Structure formats: C-alpha cells, structure tokens
Structure 1
Amino acid sequence: MIGCGYVGLVAASCFAELGQNVICIDKDQTKIDLLKKGIAPISEPYLIELIEKNTKKNRLQFSSSFTPHIASSDLIFIAVGTFDPDQKERTDLTAIHTVIAEIAPHLTNHQVVINKSTAPIGTSRTLHNMIKKIAPNIQCSIASNPEFLRQGQAVADFMHPDRVVIGVESEHAQKKLELLYQPLESKGVPLLITDLESAEIIKYAANAFLATKISFINELSMLCEALNVDIRTVSSGIGLDRRIGKDFLNPGPGYGGSCLPKDIQTLIETAEQHNVSSHILKSVMTVNAAQQTRMIEKINLAFAGNLSDKKIAILGLTFKSGTDDMRHSPALVILPALIAGGAQLSAYDPQGMYAAKQILPKEMLYREDVYDAIAETDAIVLMTEWKIFTEINLAQAKKSMRGNIFIDLRNLYQKDKMQALGFDYYCI
C-alpha cells in the first residue's frame, strides 16, 4: 500500500484485519516513525486499535522505502493524495505519476498495480501505459478500485461496505482482487466488476450525486424559510421515500472536505473536455457557495447588521463531525467574514483546532472546552454537528453569556425549546 494517508492507512489496516500481510509505504519518514510507535497521523475511530493489533501480529508493517517490498508483493495499491493545496478544487496527479515512475523499475511479471486514489477518468489506463514505457519487458496488470469511505466512519465503511467496485482489463487482475475481497463477499457484500473507466467514473458520479442532494436541500431550505415551513419536516417527509433516502438531506452551511468540491470540479472539466454539458453540477457548486454567503447574512441579521465588537462563540470548525479535516470547511468562508465585520470569535472543536490555527485568521481565539468558548459571549454559532454539542447544559451556557443569541447552522435544536430557555434562536 503506497501512501499512509487517509485512504491508504485505513485500507492497509483493514486488509491486515482481513488476514492479508500488508506493508504500508510512505516517503514521509516522520509519519512512518510515528506509525511504528503506534501513533496514527489521522483521527479516525477504531483505526489505532487496528494498527496496534495487526502490527503485533506482524500482518501490518510500515516503511519509507520501495525496495525490496515492491518486487515481493502480489498486489500494489496506490493511495496517494490528489488534492492540490494551491488550487483546492483541482485534481493534482503529480504524486501518482511520481509513484509509477519510482515503482516501475522494481515491478515483476504477473503483479497487479491498483489505483485507489481518486483520479480523472482514463488515469488507470494512462498509468499502465507509463509502466509499459518504463518497463517494457514486464507483464503486469492494472486495476481501479475506488474508495467510498466517509471521514469519521472510514473503518466501518471499509469493513461493511455497500459495494466494492473493481475496474480491470485482465482476467488475472480480476481473479486476484476477487480473492482479496473474498472475506467481504462471503458476508454478502456485492463485488461490481467493470472496466477501468467505468470504475473511475462511478466514484465521481457517487460523490457528485451526494453533493447534489446537499445543495438541493439547502436551496429548498430557502423556500421553506420564505414560506415559514420547517425544513426538517420536509426533509423527513421526502427522505422516507425509499427511492430518495434520508442521508445527505440535512440542511447546513454547505458541503466541504477534500472530496466533494474537488470531484465535482473534475467531473465538470471532464465533461467540458468532451463537449458535454454539466448544468446540474455547476448549479450544485453555485448553490453551495451561495449557502455559505447566506449563513454570513443570517448571522449578520441576528445582530441587525452590526457585528462590531460582538463576542461570538463558534462551536465546530471542521467541515463535518468525526474528523479533524478543515479542507473546504464552511468555516473557512464564514468566520473570516465575521472577523472582517468586527466580531471577536472564540472557538472550540473537539478535533479540528490544530489544523484551524494554521489557516484561519490570527484574530481567532481557541478555547479548551465548550463552556470556555461560550463564557461572556453575545452569541453562539453552531457550525459543526459534533455530538458533544447536543449535550450542552443550555441553562448553564446561557447563564454564562452576556447575550442570548443562538444561531444553529446544523438544526440540532428545537426552536420552541430554545426560546423557552430564553434564547433568541435562529436556525435553517
């Protein structure tokens, strides 16, 4: 497994748990040293337990060197990042191409190279052509095996997936991967065997559809507010339809993370390259950006347009609960706008504060717990749906505030109950 990031480390640990002998390789020696000490570089439930268990059983190892591990492996997974830190909605294939250039000289006959990184349609075939050019005498196979892991639930998603998608161009690769995933297939997990390009587009189409559901419910929430209708009731009503499903129908400040924004943009660019329209996908992005602007306006409205010297507690910074990932978090758009308006922000997030400190304005203050963040503030803005924020002693919180405004951007609370406690409550 090449890459000890989010996808690679979870996949390597879970394959080891399924009984495989896995060597996880990463060029970052610091990361490898931490993993050898049993310290995970990412926050994910149950991951560290799998690492510790399978390291002790010698089924999981870590290294910063390709040799001799590449030549001695049957399956070689590529799970390196494609997130461009400079152009955050672009896919960067530099890391994948670098890996191919470095491993190709060490490949042997009958190995299977599997791309698990999210990459544009046609990438797997391009990688195979690169290998043929570098090592023309080696007969190896290529495959695409996209991941469908949700941050905060990645281990559970890997061990109990809705499906496993395998894109291949040879019977040899198909048999190898079917054998690898046999423990999951024996439990009833469907294996979808397809060609390389279909596997690649399935990944993009899935993420694009999920983002579409989010933008749909957020846009519908605007109409519900205008009509004085509870969007939560509407969401429940349509989500009970099995053709639609209830997931990804919770209104909020917009989607974020490293996947949905990048994958939608890549799908749009792919469509444009082939002279195909992508009106729906472009609208999804437009609605998402507009939703973040709308949240800024909602907060301003609660203060009658005057944020100057207002002290606001920010509960949650990451783009969703269960992760420390700040990439494309709505907080990156909303909070700088509040600071620019003169607000003083004190924030608490169970996992995201270290990352937030690196990228949010220096004026941000960070607190050790929820109640420290809330104390002596004029308002609370709930940004992320962490479970801990549903367990706040609201009477205690209100008593410690100097104001009474509560702006719930995740609709975690009920309006009548909040008003009964004396809060001036705003939600979506």
Structure 2
Amino acid sequence: MNMPAYVKTSKSSEDNPCVIVGHSIDAITTATVMVSLGNKVSLYTNQQQLEHTLTNYKFEYQQQALWQLYLNQKNIVVQPIPEQATEVFTQQVASLYWLFHSDLPETWCQSSDNKPAWVTQMNESQVPSQTPVIISGISTLGVFANIADYCQRPWVYYVPFVFLQDGSAYLSMLSPKLWLMGEKTADSIDKVAILQPLIAQAQRSYISDIATIEFSRSAIMSMLATRVSFMNEWSRLADHQGVDIQEVADIMGLDTRIGSSYLKAGWGFGGTTLPAEINALQQTLAHTQVDHRLMQAVDLINNDQKELIFRKFWQYFDGAIENKQVSIWGASYKSGSGRTSEAAIHPLLTLLWSYNITTQVYASEAKSELAGLYPDQPLLQFIESPTEQLADCDALFVLSWPETKRLPISALNEVVIPVFDAQNAFTKDQIQSLTGDYQGIGRSK
C-alpha cells in the first residue's frame, strides 16, 4: 500500500495514546490519520452509530484498508463510550483528548452553570493540566470559545473540519487545503506537536483565537450554501428564459473572481455539514438582535428546491398522477455516499406516496438506510439495476448518479418515458439524444 512519504511508522505500545471521542466520519478519519502519523489511538464511541457510519459512508479504499489494519494491529482500540466522561479521564493517561462535539452523548453535555458535564468532570479529574484538549464540531457561535474558557487548563484548541472531502477523507486530512485552528492561549501551537505534520502539509493554514475561527467556519460554510442556493434560484429564471443553467455555470467559472466550485444547480444541498451549519447560525441569530435575511433566504430556497422536481412532474401530467409507478435513481445526499440525511429523496417519496404512487428505487449504497427508515411502506420497492422494470414505469427521477458511471441512454430510448433530472446528471448531448421528454433544473430538452 502506497502511503505519503511523511507518514511515520507506529510508535511503541508504551506511548500514551490519543484519546478520541466520537463516531462520525470526522472522528474515524482522525483516528486513522493519528495512527498514520505514528500514534496509538483509544477511540471511545457509540458502537451502533460507529457501525452505521462505517456501513453507510463510502470511504476510499486506502482509508478502509488502513482502518482495518490499525484495528488488527491494535493501534486503534475501540471502546464503548461510558455515560460519564469521568470514566474516560480516569482510565488511562493520554497524550491528548480530541472530542467531537456532535458525537458526545447527552449525559456528557448536560450542563451545570452553563458548563457541559464533561468539562466539569475533566476539571475535577487528575488529568494533567498540560494535556492538550482539542474540540471539533459545529454549534452556535461562541460555544467552543466558552467551553475553552470553562476548561481549567491552558492548552485547549478548536479544529473545524472545513477541509474534509467526501470520498477522499483520509488524504484531505493528511494534506488539507485549509487548516484552521483556534487556540485558547495565544501562540501555543507548539504544545500540540502531534498536529505539526498536518499543519506543515496544509496548502494554507490560519491560527487565531477560538471565537474568530468559529466565526470563520460559519462564514465559509454559509458562503458555500449561498452559492448553491444562488444557482438554484437562477435555475428557475433559466427555465423561464430557455437557457441551460449548466452552461451558464461553466461560463461563470471562467471568471477567476468567482471560480467553479459550488455552482451546480440541482435539488439543493443535504448531508450533515451544511444543514447543521445553517441551523446553528439560525440559533445564534435567534439570540441576537442581528437580522440576517440572506441566510434565511438560502435556507428557504434550499428547502423549496427539494420539491421542485416533483412540481415539474405534477405539471407535466397536469396533476393526473394518482396510482402511477415511477423509477428513482439514487437516494443519497451525494453520489457515492450511503447517507440520505437532508437529501431530496425524503420529500420526494413523501409527495409521491401521498398520491399512491409506487416508487422503484435504485440506490445500492443507500438501500439499507432507506429500508430502515421506511420499513412498512408498501409503495417503496428496491431494484437491483437502474433499468429493471423501467418499461412498467410512467416516469424516471434522477437524484444522485455517479459522474463516473455511464447513463443507460439506449435503455431509456427503448421505453420512452419522461425523465426528471434533479441532479442535472445528463449532458447536453445526452439530453438531445433522448427520445422521450426531459426536464432538469434550469435546463430542458
């Protein structure tokens, strides 16, 4: 297995481990990277949620292989997370503690005098005050700065995972495009030498106080969400004007002041990160006198966009859609993932089922998650190939199709059914080659 030249071999078992608490993709990636940098890891986690992440997130092959290797070598030791943080702080001496805020159990987060229980328990423990504590996650602005203040220790840091890329999580953490880090004590980065390889490999890095890094994280993610909603808003005007929004996005990307990222119109954004960021910002604004109409509009557009493809379907059939049968390709919030959190599949299924429409879903990665969410829905059927029973369907919805996988145009032309492309997965040439009707987001045949 080829590994980056700067990745070290593991240290001896006598070294104090990094204690990581969490079950998310961020926590799993951190554990893998920490071992690759020559450390041992004790991962305290909710076992069921950890298995869900491992099952439903499509890790790149390298991380899958390293995760299993490190487990077998006992360089990563997985342990059930106890109800009380005290048990973690007293079980072993650690080189550092890295806590993933959103993964902590409720018993750790119950507050007294606004202090999370785990902070109080750490303050009362025998953990040396010089042991670094790193916190990661998304919450309302100021939460992590306050937690750092509550911690009776100088070396507390905040690392937002703005650099993590789906499908390339391991490499994007080893060589982050942007490493942001907040520190409680100014100019104390030397106290977390364990992170120096990551900072050194980052294309760009910025270290400041925790409150500033929190604010910057929220601003970055909100800007990305705004770009998505901006293009989706313009896609509706493109429909009206008969312009292909995808071609417009290509032209916009040529302007270096804009760039090409996050300009793809479609059903909106889902997953956990962007929706969580928008929700956290709304909670922050609710406790201030600051008005933020732009982000309210971004959230409104995104939620409405998830139902747009259904409205196009309804209008195409002039409302006569009861008891039809449709095929749906893809269900995850992003192609290649098995997660459907905040994805368009949920509002679409709800709307279709309200008209007694049978839904045949082709979504190999997300099948288990959907089956678990809708165990008793007779209108939900799963198919093993995209063209299975396509001739029996009245329409096709495309929600999530991998860019690397060829669309079966010939099979579509054999059955001649209307295509409703919520992902804008079809190229201009593919649209023109379709025998049947096509409607996308800001583009039509």
Asked if these proteins are the same fold (TM beyond 0.5), I'd say yes
Match of 1:73 in 2: 94
Match of 1:126 in 2: 146
Give the counterpart of 2:67 among 30, 51, 56: 51
CA 20–160 in structure 1, closer or farther in 2 if over 3 Å, else same: same
1:286 lines up with 2:305 in the alignment: no
Using the TM superposition, give the Cα deviation of residue 57 of structure 1 relative to its aligned residue in structure 2, in angstroms.
4.8
1:409 lines up with 2:430 in the alignment: no
Match of 1:424 in 2: 437
Q: Distance in 2 between matches of 1:171 and 1:357?
A: 50
1:60-100 Cα deviation digits (max 9, x unpaired): 22222654776411211111426999xxxxxx965993544
Match of 1:167 in 2: 182
Using the TM superposition, give the Cα deviation of residue 167 of structure 1 relative to its aligned residue in structure 2, in angstroms.
0.4
CA 51–40 in structure 1, closer or farther in 2 if over 3 Å, else same: farther
**AA paired with 2:436?**
F
Match of 2:39 in 1: 20
Structure 1 segment 325-336 matched on structure 2, within 5 A: 325-336=339-350
Q: Distance in 1 between matches of 2:231 and 2:55?
A: 35
What is the root-mean-square deviation of aligned Cα atoms in Å? Answer: 2.9
Match of 1:372 in 2: 388
CA 418–160 in structure 1, closer or farther in 2 if over 3 Å, else same: same
**AA paired with 2:284?**
T
Using the TM superposition, give the Cα deviation of residue 180 of structure 1 relative to its aligned residue in structure 2, in angstroms.
2.5
Structure 1 segment 109-148 matched on structure 2, within 5 A: 109-132=129-152, 139-148=153-162
Q: Distance in 1 between matches of 2:55 and 2:363?
A: 19
CA contact (8 A) 1:114 1:143 kept: yes
Structure 1 segment 201-220 matched on structure 2, within 5 A: 201-220=215-234
Q: Distance in 2 between matches of 1:187 and 1:250?
A: 29
SS at match of 1:347: strand
Q: Distance in 2 between matches of 1:158 and 1:109?
A: 27
CA 173–57 in structure 1, closer or farther in 2 if over 3 Å, else same: farther
Q: Distance in 2 between matches of 1:83 and 1:315?
A: 35
Q: Distance in 1 between matches of 2:418 and 2:66?
A: 43
Using the TM superposition, give the Cα deviation of residue 58 of structure 1 relative to its aligned residue in structure 2, in angstroms.
4.4
Structure 1 segment 191-230 matched on structure 2, within 5 A: 191-230=205-244
1:297 lines up with 2:317 in the alignment: no
Using the TM superposition, give the Cα deviation of residue 204 of structure 1 relative to its aligned residue in structure 2, in angstroms.
1.4
Q: Distance in 1 between matches of 2:236 and 2:109?
A: 38
- Name structure 2 gaps, 5 residues minimum: 1-19, 82-86
Using the TM superposition, give the Cα deviation of residue 263 of structure 1 relative to its aligned residue in structure 2, in angstroms.
1.1
**AA paired with 2:278?**
I
Q: Distance in 2 between matches of 1:84 and 1:305?
A: 46
CA contact (8 A) 1:348 1:368 kept: yes
CA contact (8 A) 2:109 2:118 kept: no
Q: Distance in 2 between matches of 1:43 and 1:100?
A: 33
Using the TM superposition, give the Cα deviation of residue 188 of structure 1 relative to its aligned residue in structure 2, in angstroms.
5.0
Q: Distance in 1 between matches of 2:105 and 2:226?
A: 23
Give the counterpart of 1:306 among 320, 323, 326: 320
CA contact (8 A) 1:77 1:114 kept: yes
CA 172–185 in structure 1, closer or farther in 2 if over 3 Å, else same: closer
1:5 lines up with 2:21 in the alignment: no
Using the TM superposition, give the Cα deviation of residue 259 of structure 1 relative to its aligned residue in structure 2, in angstroms.
1.8
- Name structure 1 gaps, 5 residues minimum: 86-91, 133-138
**AA paired with 1:123?**
V
Give the counterpart of 2:169 among 151, 154, 157: 154
| Identical pairs, percent | 21
Q: Distance in 2 between matches of 1:167 and 1:20?
A: 23
CA contact (8 A) 1:108 1:140 kept: no
**AA paired with 2:176?**
P
1:357-390 Cα deviation digits (max 9, x unpaired): 23347121111222226352121100113236x4
Match of 1:89 in 2: none
After TM superposition, the structure 1 stretch with the greater mean CA deviation from structure 2, 122-131 or 317-326, is 122-131
User: Normalising by structure 2, what TM-score?
Assistant: 0.83
Match of 1:88 in 2: none
SS at match of 2:23: coil
